[in-house]
Amino acid sequence: MAGGKIRKEKGKQKSGPYQGQGLGAGGISFHKSKGQHILKNPLLVESIVQKAGIKSTDVILEIGPGTGNLTKKLLEAGKMVIAVELDSRMVLELQRRFQSTPYSNRLKVIQGDVLKTDLPYFDICVANIPYQISSPLTFKLLFHQPAFRCAIIMFQKEFAMRLVAQPGDKLYCRLSVNTQLHARVSHLLKVGKNNFRPPPKVDSSVVRIEPRKPRPQVNPVEWDGFLRICFIRKNKTLSSIFRLKNVLSMLEKNYRTLQALQSSQNSSLGNTEIGTDTPSLGDSNGDQSMGVDDGSDDEMDVEDDDGDSDVEGEVSEFKDKVLAVLREGQFEEKRASKLTQQEFLYLLSLFNKAGIHFS
Protein backbone atom coordinates (compact mmCIF):
# COMPACT_ATOMS: atom_id res chain seq x y z
CA MET A 1 0.00 0.00 0.00
CA ALA A 2 1.13 3.55 -0.66
CA GLY A 3 1.88 5.85 2.24
CA GLY A 4 4.15 5.96 5.21
CA LYS A 5 3.98 5.16 8.89
CA ILE A 6 3.85 7.55 11.82
CA ARG A 7 5.80 6.37 14.84
CA LYS A 8 5.47 7.58 18.37
CA GLU A 9 8.00 10.28 19.21
CA LYS A 10 10.45 9.25 21.88
CA GLY A 11 11.06 11.32 24.94
CA LYS A 12 8.80 13.68 26.85
CA GLN A 13 6.26 15.83 25.08
CA LYS A 14 7.48 19.36 24.71
CA SER A 15 5.39 22.26 25.89
CA GLY A 16 3.22 24.03 23.37
CA PRO A 17 -0.19 23.59 21.81
CA TYR A 18 -0.13 19.81 22.40
CA GLN A 19 0.71 20.01 26.09
CA GLY A 20 -1.71 18.63 28.64
CA GLN A 21 -3.56 16.28 26.31
CA GLY A 22 -3.71 13.48 28.91
CA LEU A 23 -6.73 15.12 30.41
CA GLY A 24 -6.99 17.70 27.69
CA ALA A 25 -6.67 21.45 27.96
CA GLY A 26 -8.78 22.69 30.84
CA GLY A 27 -8.55 19.29 32.57
CA ILE A 28 -11.04 17.51 30.28
CA SER A 29 -11.09 13.75 30.77
CA PHE A 30 -11.54 11.60 27.66
CA HIS A 31 -13.95 8.66 27.54
CA LYS A 32 -12.67 5.54 25.76
CA SER A 33 -16.18 4.11 25.76
CA LYS A 34 -17.26 7.01 23.54
CA GLY A 35 -14.31 6.57 21.20
CA GLN A 36 -12.53 9.73 22.40
CA HIS A 37 -8.87 9.39 21.48
CA ILE A 38 -7.10 12.71 20.94
CA LEU A 39 -4.19 13.08 18.53
CA LYS A 40 -1.14 14.10 20.49
CA ASN A 41 1.63 13.74 17.88
CA PRO A 42 2.18 17.06 16.04
CA LEU A 43 4.05 15.28 13.22
CA LEU A 44 0.94 13.18 12.56
CA VAL A 45 -1.27 16.27 12.52
CA GLU A 46 1.07 17.98 10.04
CA SER A 47 1.15 14.89 7.83
CA ILE A 48 -2.65 14.60 7.70
CA VAL A 49 -3.02 18.25 6.70
CA GLN A 50 -0.32 17.92 4.06
CA LYS A 51 -1.86 14.80 2.50
CA ALA A 52 -5.31 16.40 2.43
CA GLY A 53 -4.14 18.79 -0.30
CA ILE A 54 -6.08 21.71 1.17
CA LYS A 55 -6.48 24.89 -0.89
CA SER A 56 -6.71 28.36 0.63
CA THR A 57 -10.28 28.63 -0.72
CA ASP A 58 -11.49 25.33 0.78
CA VAL A 59 -14.33 24.94 3.26
CA ILE A 60 -13.27 22.05 5.52
CA LEU A 61 -15.61 19.78 7.45
CA GLU A 62 -13.91 18.39 10.55
CA ILE A 63 -15.67 15.58 12.38
CA GLY A 64 -14.60 14.94 15.95
CA PRO A 65 -12.29 17.94 16.50
CA GLY A 66 -11.71 17.17 20.18
CA THR A 67 -9.70 19.96 21.78
CA GLY A 68 -8.61 21.44 18.46
CA ASN A 69 -5.06 20.27 17.73
CA LEU A 70 -5.94 19.39 14.13
CA THR A 71 -8.48 22.21 13.89
CA LYS A 72 -5.75 24.85 14.27
CA LYS A 73 -3.74 23.45 11.36
CA LEU A 74 -6.86 23.19 9.20
CA LEU A 75 -7.70 26.84 9.92
CA GLU A 76 -4.18 27.82 8.88
CA ALA A 77 -4.53 25.95 5.59
CA GLY A 78 -8.11 26.60 4.43
CA LYS A 79 -10.74 29.31 4.18
CA MET A 80 -13.13 28.02 6.84
CA VAL A 81 -13.55 25.05 9.19
CA ILE A 82 -16.95 23.63 10.14
CA ALA A 83 -16.39 21.37 13.15
CA VAL A 84 -19.04 18.84 14.22
CA GLU A 85 -18.63 17.71 17.82
CA LEU A 86 -21.03 15.72 20.04
CA ASP A 87 -19.39 16.39 23.43
CA SER A 88 -20.44 19.76 24.90
CA ARG A 89 -17.20 19.91 26.92
CA MET A 90 -15.14 19.73 23.73
CA VAL A 91 -17.34 22.37 22.10
CA LEU A 92 -16.66 24.78 24.97
CA GLU A 93 -12.94 24.02 24.82
CA LEU A 94 -12.84 24.71 21.08
CA GLN A 95 -14.65 28.01 21.52
CA ARG A 96 -12.33 29.00 24.38
CA ARG A 97 -9.24 28.03 22.43
CA PHE A 98 -9.99 30.09 19.34
CA GLN A 99 -11.90 33.08 20.71
CA SER A 100 -10.04 36.37 20.37
CA THR A 101 -7.75 34.83 17.75
CA PRO A 102 -7.56 35.61 14.01
CA TYR A 103 -9.30 32.25 13.42
CA SER A 104 -12.45 32.93 15.44
CA ASN A 105 -14.52 34.21 12.51
CA ARG A 106 -13.44 31.28 10.28
CA LEU A 107 -14.49 28.52 12.68
CA LYS A 108 -18.07 27.31 12.97
CA VAL A 109 -18.79 24.67 15.61
CA ILE A 110 -21.88 22.47 15.33
CA GLN A 111 -22.75 20.49 18.46
CA GLY A 112 -24.54 17.26 17.65
CA ASP A 113 -24.38 13.68 16.37
CA VAL A 114 -22.82 13.82 12.90
CA LEU A 115 -24.97 10.87 11.75
CA LYS A 116 -28.13 12.88 12.53
CA THR A 117 -26.84 16.25 11.34
CA ASP A 118 -27.67 17.77 7.97
CA LEU A 119 -24.19 18.53 6.73
CA PRO A 120 -23.54 21.88 5.02
CA TYR A 121 -21.52 22.39 1.85
CA PHE A 122 -17.83 21.53 2.17
CA ASP A 123 -14.88 20.86 -0.14
CA ILE A 124 -12.84 18.52 2.06
CA CYS A 125 -13.66 16.40 5.09
CA VAL A 126 -11.06 15.55 7.73
CA ALA A 127 -12.12 13.23 10.52
CA ASN A 128 -10.74 11.41 13.56
CA ILE A 129 -13.90 9.55 14.48
CA PRO A 130 -15.18 7.08 17.07
CA TYR A 131 -14.57 3.78 15.29
CA GLN A 132 -18.07 2.48 16.05
CA ILE A 133 -19.55 4.92 13.51
CA SER A 134 -17.04 4.15 10.73
CA SER A 135 -19.41 2.43 8.32
CA PRO A 136 -22.52 4.63 8.65
CA LEU A 137 -20.40 7.78 8.45
CA THR A 138 -18.56 6.54 5.35
CA PHE A 139 -21.80 5.97 3.47
CA LYS A 140 -23.38 9.19 4.75
CA LEU A 141 -20.45 11.06 3.22
CA LEU A 142 -20.56 9.08 -0.04
CA PHE A 143 -24.22 10.02 -0.53
CA HIS A 144 -23.73 13.67 0.45
CA GLN A 145 -24.89 16.23 -2.10
CA PRO A 146 -23.19 18.08 -3.65
CA ALA A 147 -20.19 15.78 -3.85
CA PHE A 148 -17.06 16.97 -2.06
CA ARG A 149 -13.50 16.70 -3.42
CA CYS A 150 -12.08 14.23 -0.90
CA ALA A 151 -12.24 12.97 2.67
CA ILE A 152 -9.24 12.14 4.86
CA ILE A 153 -10.45 9.85 7.65
CA MET A 154 -8.79 8.00 10.52
CA PHE A 155 -10.20 4.47 10.79
CA GLN A 156 -9.42 1.37 12.81
CA LYS A 157 -6.67 -0.34 10.81
CA GLU A 158 -8.61 -3.51 9.87
CA PHE A 159 -11.65 -1.50 8.74
CA ALA A 160 -9.37 0.68 6.60
CA MET A 161 -7.77 -2.39 5.04
CA ARG A 162 -11.21 -3.72 4.13
CA LEU A 163 -12.06 -0.43 2.43
CA VAL A 164 -9.01 -0.62 0.15
CA ALA A 165 -8.91 -4.42 -0.33
CA GLN A 166 -8.76 -5.74 -3.91
CA PRO A 167 -10.20 -8.96 -5.44
CA GLY A 168 -8.33 -11.96 -4.06
CA ASP A 169 -7.20 -10.19 -0.88
CA LYS A 170 -8.10 -11.92 2.37
CA LEU A 171 -10.06 -8.87 3.61
CA TYR A 172 -11.93 -8.27 0.34
CA CYS A 173 -15.62 -8.14 1.21
CA ARG A 174 -18.95 -6.50 0.52
CA LEU A 175 -17.72 -3.30 2.18
CA SER A 176 -14.79 -3.15 -0.26
CA VAL A 177 -17.03 -3.48 -3.33
CA ASN A 178 -19.72 -1.11 -2.03
CA THR A 179 -17.26 1.64 -1.17
CA GLN A 180 -15.15 1.34 -4.31
CA LEU A 181 -18.24 1.55 -6.52
CA HIS A 182 -18.85 5.07 -5.21
CA ALA A 183 -15.32 6.31 -4.58
CA ARG A 184 -11.62 5.91 -5.22
CA VAL A 185 -10.10 4.78 -1.93
CA SER A 186 -6.40 4.84 -1.05
CA HIS A 187 -4.39 4.08 2.08
CA LEU A 188 -2.23 6.99 3.25
CA LEU A 189 -0.76 6.32 6.69
CA LYS A 190 -0.42 3.60 9.31
CA VAL A 191 -0.83 5.16 12.75
CA GLY A 192 0.32 3.43 15.93
CA LYS A 193 -2.02 3.52 18.93
CA ASN A 194 0.55 5.42 21.01
CA ASN A 195 -0.03 8.53 18.90
CA PHE A 196 -3.29 9.05 20.81
CA ARG A 197 -4.21 9.89 24.37
CA PRO A 198 -5.68 7.80 25.80
CA PRO A 199 -4.33 5.11 23.45
CA PRO A 200 -6.96 2.90 21.77
CA LYS A 201 -6.67 -0.89 21.86
CA VAL A 202 -5.79 -1.18 18.16
CA ASP A 203 -3.69 0.61 15.56
CA SER A 204 -5.27 2.97 13.06
CA SER A 205 -4.92 3.99 9.44
CA VAL A 206 -5.61 7.18 7.52
CA VAL A 207 -7.57 6.69 4.29
CA ARG A 208 -8.33 9.06 1.41
CA ILE A 209 -11.80 8.80 -0.15
CA GLU A 210 -12.62 10.59 -3.42
CA PRO A 211 -16.25 10.33 -4.62
CA ARG A 212 -16.54 9.24 -8.24
CA LYS A 213 -17.82 11.77 -10.73
CA PRO A 214 -20.22 11.26 -12.33
CA ARG A 215 -21.95 9.17 -9.71
CA PRO A 216 -22.62 5.56 -10.75
CA GLN A 217 -26.12 5.05 -12.14
CA VAL A 218 -27.04 2.09 -9.96
CA ASN A 219 -30.01 1.51 -7.68
CA PRO A 220 -28.12 1.41 -4.35
CA VAL A 221 -30.72 -0.74 -2.59
CA GLU A 222 -30.70 -3.40 -5.31
CA TRP A 223 -26.89 -3.26 -5.59
CA ASP A 224 -26.52 -3.90 -1.88
CA GLY A 225 -29.08 -6.71 -1.92
CA PHE A 226 -27.24 -8.35 -4.82
CA LEU A 227 -23.88 -8.14 -3.03
CA ARG A 228 -25.33 -9.53 0.19
CA ILE A 229 -26.25 -12.71 -1.67
CA CYS A 230 -22.94 -12.98 -3.55
CA PHE A 231 -20.99 -12.63 -0.30
CA ILE A 232 -23.07 -15.08 1.75
CA ARG A 233 -20.11 -17.44 1.30
CA LYS A 234 -17.54 -15.42 -0.56
CA ASN A 235 -15.23 -18.38 -1.27
CA LYS A 236 -17.95 -20.67 -2.61
CA THR A 237 -18.88 -20.69 -6.27
CA LEU A 238 -21.74 -18.44 -7.34
CA SER A 239 -23.48 -21.51 -8.74
CA SER A 240 -23.64 -23.08 -5.28
CA ILE A 241 -24.81 -19.83 -3.66
CA PHE A 242 -27.63 -19.29 -6.15
CA ARG A 243 -28.83 -22.88 -5.60
CA LEU A 244 -29.54 -22.19 -1.93
CA LYS A 245 -33.23 -22.61 -1.09
CA ASN A 246 -33.44 -19.37 0.88
CA VAL A 247 -31.84 -17.40 -1.95
CA LEU A 248 -34.06 -18.92 -4.65
CA SER A 249 -37.17 -18.40 -2.55
CA MET A 250 -36.42 -14.71 -2.00
CA LEU A 251 -35.52 -14.06 -5.63
CA GLU A 252 -38.61 -15.87 -6.92
CA LYS A 253 -40.83 -13.85 -4.57
CA ASN A 254 -39.30 -10.63 -5.97
CA TYR A 255 -39.71 -11.96 -9.50
CA ARG A 256 -43.41 -12.81 -9.06
CA THR A 257 -44.11 -9.49 -7.34
CA LEU A 258 -42.49 -7.51 -10.14
CA GLN A 259 -44.39 -9.48 -12.76
CA ALA A 260 -47.66 -8.68 -10.98
CA LEU A 261 -46.74 -4.99 -10.74
CA GLN A 262 -45.80 -4.82 -14.40
CA SER A 263 -49.01 -6.53 -15.39
CA SER A 264 -51.00 -4.08 -13.29
CA GLN A 265 -49.06 -1.15 -14.70
CA ASN A 266 -49.65 -2.23 -18.28
CA SER A 267 -53.38 -2.38 -17.67
CA SER A 268 -53.59 1.11 -16.21
CA LEU A 269 -52.86 4.60 -17.49
CA GLY A 270 -50.60 5.53 -14.58
CA ASN A 271 -46.82 5.70 -14.63
CA THR A 272 -46.09 4.21 -11.24
CA GLU A 273 -42.37 3.56 -10.72
CA ILE A 274 -41.43 0.00 -9.88
CA GLY A 275 -38.24 -1.72 -8.82
CA THR A 276 -36.94 -2.15 -12.35
CA ASP A 277 -35.92 1.50 -12.47
CA THR A 278 -32.32 2.39 -11.75
CA PRO A 279 -32.36 5.78 -9.97
CA SER A 280 -29.19 7.69 -9.37
CA LEU A 281 -27.50 7.61 -5.98
CA GLY A 282 -29.46 9.16 -3.17
CA ASP A 283 -32.88 8.41 -4.67
CA SER A 284 -33.52 5.37 -2.50
CA ASN A 285 -32.07 6.13 0.93
CA GLY A 286 -29.09 4.03 -0.03
CA ASP A 287 -27.01 5.35 2.85
CA GLN A 288 -29.35 3.63 5.30
CA SER A 289 -29.32 0.27 3.58
CA MET A 290 -25.60 0.18 2.98
CA GLY A 291 -24.44 1.83 6.18
CA VAL A 292 -25.03 -1.34 8.19
CA ASP A 293 -22.11 -2.96 6.38
CA ASP A 294 -19.44 -2.88 9.08
CA GLY A 295 -16.81 -4.75 7.09
CA SER A 296 -16.97 -7.88 9.22
CA ASP A 297 -17.04 -11.31 7.62
CA ASP A 298 -20.03 -11.63 5.31
CA GLU A 299 -20.62 -15.35 5.72
CA MET A 300 -23.91 -16.24 7.36
CA ASP A 301 -25.94 -19.30 8.24
CA VAL A 302 -28.22 -20.36 5.40
CA GLU A 303 -30.01 -23.51 4.39
CA ASP A 304 -27.83 -25.44 1.97
CA ASP A 305 -29.28 -27.19 -1.09
CA ASP A 306 -27.38 -29.28 -3.59
CA GLY A 307 -29.99 -28.57 -6.24
CA ASP A 308 -31.38 -32.14 -6.38
CA SER A 309 -33.88 -32.06 -3.52
CA ASP A 310 -36.58 -29.82 -4.98
CA VAL A 311 -40.13 -31.09 -4.85
CA GLU A 312 -41.15 -31.78 -8.45
CA GLY A 313 -42.45 -28.63 -10.12
CA GLU A 314 -41.49 -26.34 -7.25
CA VAL A 315 -38.75 -23.75 -7.73
CA SER A 316 -36.98 -25.85 -10.38
CA GLU A 317 -38.21 -23.75 -13.30
CA PHE A 318 -37.14 -20.52 -11.65
CA LYS A 319 -33.87 -22.11 -10.51
CA ASP A 320 -33.12 -23.02 -14.12
CA LYS A 321 -33.74 -19.39 -15.06
CA VAL A 322 -31.27 -18.17 -12.41
CA LEU A 323 -28.59 -20.70 -13.34
CA ALA A 324 -29.02 -19.85 -17.03
CA VAL A 325 -27.99 -16.27 -16.19
CA LEU A 326 -24.81 -17.54 -14.52
CA ARG A 327 -24.05 -19.71 -17.53
CA GLU A 328 -24.62 -16.86 -19.96
CA GLY A 329 -21.98 -14.73 -18.24
CA GLN A 330 -19.70 -17.70 -17.44
CA PHE A 331 -20.04 -17.02 -13.71
CA GLU A 332 -20.98 -20.52 -12.53
CA GLU A 333 -17.55 -21.43 -11.15
CA LYS A 334 -16.49 -17.93 -10.14
CA ARG A 335 -16.34 -16.73 -6.54
CA ALA A 336 -17.29 -13.36 -5.05
CA SER A 337 -13.91 -13.14 -3.31
CA LYS A 338 -12.20 -12.78 -6.68
CA LEU A 339 -14.72 -10.82 -8.76
CA THR A 340 -13.93 -7.27 -9.85
CA GLN A 341 -16.39 -4.41 -9.55
CA GLN A 342 -17.02 -4.50 -13.31
CA GLU A 343 -17.80 -8.23 -13.14
CA PHE A 344 -20.33 -7.64 -10.35
CA LEU A 345 -21.97 -4.86 -12.39
CA TYR A 346 -22.11 -7.09 -15.48
CA LEU A 347 -23.66 -10.00 -13.57
CA LEU A 348 -26.28 -7.72 -12.01
CA SER A 349 -27.17 -6.39 -15.48
CA LEU A 350 -27.63 -9.96 -16.74
CA PHE A 351 -29.99 -10.76 -13.86
CA ASN A 352 -31.96 -7.56 -14.48
CA LYS A 353 -32.20 -8.36 -18.21
CA ALA A 354 -33.76 -11.69 -17.22
CA GLY A 355 -36.27 -9.88 -14.99
CA ILE A 356 -34.56 -10.95 -11.75
CA HIS A 357 -34.13 -8.21 -9.14
CA PHE A 358 -32.73 -7.98 -5.62
CA SER A 359 -34.85 -5.33 -3.94
d(CA 79, CA 332): 54
Q: What is the pTM of this model?
A: 0.79
Q: Is residue 172 part of a domain?
A: yes
* Model pLDDT, residue 80: 98
- Domain-ending residue, one of 167, 192, 211: 211
Nearest to 139, CA basis, from 35, 359, 292, 358: 292
* Model pLDDT, residue 315: 60
* Domain containing residue 325: 218-264+312-358
Nearest to 241, CA basis, from 182, 293, 304, 320: 304
Number of structural domains (the chain) is 2
- Domain-ending residue, one of 211, 243, 277: 211
CB atoms within 10 A of CB 277: 10
* Model pLDDT, residue 197: 80
* Model pLDDT, residue 297: 53
Annotated binding-site residue numbers for S-adenosyl-L-methionine: 37, 39, 64, 85, 113, 128
* Model pLDDT, residue 353: 95
Q: Is residue 284 part of a domain?
A: no
Annotated binding-site residue numbers: 37, 39, 64, 85, 113, 128
Same-domain pairing of 187 and 323 = no
Q: Is residue 138 part of a domain?
A: yes
* Model pLDDT, residue 244: 96
Same-domain pairing of 253 and 333 = yes
Give CA torsion, residues 17, 22, 24, 25, to 10 deg: -50
Q: Is residue 222 part of a domain?
A: yes
* Model pLDDT, residue 139: 94
Residues in the chain where the model's pLDDT stays below 70? 1-36, 268-315
Same-domain pairing of 334 and 255 = yes
- 230-252: pLDDT as tens digits: 999 999 999 999 999 999 999 99
* Model pLDDT, residue 270: 53
